[in-house]
């Protein structure tokens, strides 16, 4: 009886980990999200609205992360565009405002697929709105670090040189989960995030796919147990009190 009791107590003490979901989007449609990218022509005003993300059921890869719905993809089911000589393309999609008031130590989770020109010529990265301005999501926040810096390609125009940032550019031809520590954005009432993809003048690929975006906070949920045990003695284990009642114990 004592061995059984100790096993059950150990199970109770560990409990299980659950999550409280603050925001969730299966990426089946673009509702609430905004395209803000464009093509930059030698430092001129970008052509906005021509180079966009779309919500699609992908053909390559064959299905979204869960295999049964849509996802966000640069240029939908087509390869992403080339900037052409002296220009580059910026694909950028922004989330709706997400209220993190009263929350701390949130985690952003999403799945990505990436097929682009490697070696830093093209690449993908993230930014977040801190209530005042857009700031980069850094390696320190990421479960999957960036692969390096996007290269400066002078033939894509002088503006492209200012876009040199840490980014993902190695091939990820299967859906890969990324977790982002959002502790730097605790309590922000108008938090937003955006996914940014850059394409230089030549060589392209399938592009960047995003699926199943969520923001959560961890919560410890104890496994409820209530039973009687006929043993002797009184125990206190990590805040779990076992009350002795005559020769029986009740555990709550």
- CB-neighbour burial class of residue 18 (10 A; exposed 0-12, middle 13-18, buried 19+): exposed
High-pLDDT (> 70) share of the chain, %: 72
Question: Using an 8 Å Cβ cutoff, are 27 and 211 in contact?
Answer: yes
- Residues 153-165 have a mean pLDDT of 63
Contacts of 16 (CB under 8 A, 6+ apart): 220, 221, 223
Residue 4 lies in a domain: no
Report pLDDT digits (tens) over 189-233: 999 999 999 988 888 999 999 999 999 998 743 333 333 344 444
Contacts of 171 (CB under 8 A, 6+ apart): 114, 115, 116, 118
Asked whether residue 35 is domain-assigned, the answer is: yes
**pLDDT score for 45:** 63
Question: In CATH, what number is assigned to the domain containing residue 204?
Answer: 2.60.120.200
Map tokens 């805040």 to a residue: 239
DSSP designation for 39: E
Residue at token pair 């003490």: 13
- Mean pLDDT across the stretch 21-42? 91
Structure confidence at residue 156 (pLDDT): 60
Q: pLDDT value at position 237? A: 40
* Residue 150 forms part of a structural domain: yes
Asked whether residue 186 is domain-assigned, the answer is yes
Categorize the per-residue pLDDT at 120 as very low, low, confident or very high, splitting at 50, 70 and 90: confident
In the chain, the DSSP E strands lie at 16-25, 34-35, 38-41, 47-48, 53-56, 71-74, 87-94, 107-115, 123-129, 134-136, 148-149, 166-167, 172-181, 192-199, 207-221, 227-229, 236-237, 240-245, 248-251
Reported as a single tens digit per residue, the pLDDT across 2-16 is 443 333 333 333 444
Q: State the residue range of the domain holding 136.
A: 17-221
Q: Which tokens belong to 80? A: 């992403």
Q: Does a structural domain hold residue 227?
A: no
- The total number of structural domains in the chain stands at 1
């Amino acid at each position: 009886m004592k061995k059984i009791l100790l096993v059950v107590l150990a199970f109770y003490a560990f409990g299980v980990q659950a999550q409280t979901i603050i925001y969730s989007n299966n990426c089946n449609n673009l509702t609430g999200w905004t395209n803000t990218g464009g093509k930059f022509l030698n430092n001129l005003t970008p052509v906005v609205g021509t180079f966009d993300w779309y919500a699609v059921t992908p053909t390559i890869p064959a299905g979204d992360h869960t295999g049964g719905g849509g996802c966000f993809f640069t240029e939908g089911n087509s390869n992403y565009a080339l900037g052409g000589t002296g220009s580059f393309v910026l694909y950028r999609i922004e989330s709706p405002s997400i209220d993190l008031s009263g929350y701390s130590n949130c985690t952003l989770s999403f799945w990505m697929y990436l097929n682009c020109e490697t070696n830093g010529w093209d690449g993908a990265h993230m930014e977040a709105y801190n209530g005042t301005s857009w700031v980069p999501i850094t390696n320190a926040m990421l479960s999957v670090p960036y692969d390096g810096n996007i290269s400066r390609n002078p033939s894509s125009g002088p503006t492209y040189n200012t876009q040199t940032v840490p980014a993902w550019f190695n091939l990820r031809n299967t859906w890969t989960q990324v977790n982002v520590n959002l502790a730097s954005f605790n309590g922000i009432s108008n938090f937003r995030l955006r996914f940014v993809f850059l394409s230089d003048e030549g060589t392209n690929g399938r592009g960047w796919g995003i699926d199943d975006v969520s923001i959560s906070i961890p919560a410890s949920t104890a496994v409820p147990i209530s039973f009687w045990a006929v043993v002797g003695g009184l125990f206190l284990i990590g805040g779990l009190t076992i009350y002795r009642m005559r020769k029986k114990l009740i555990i709550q």
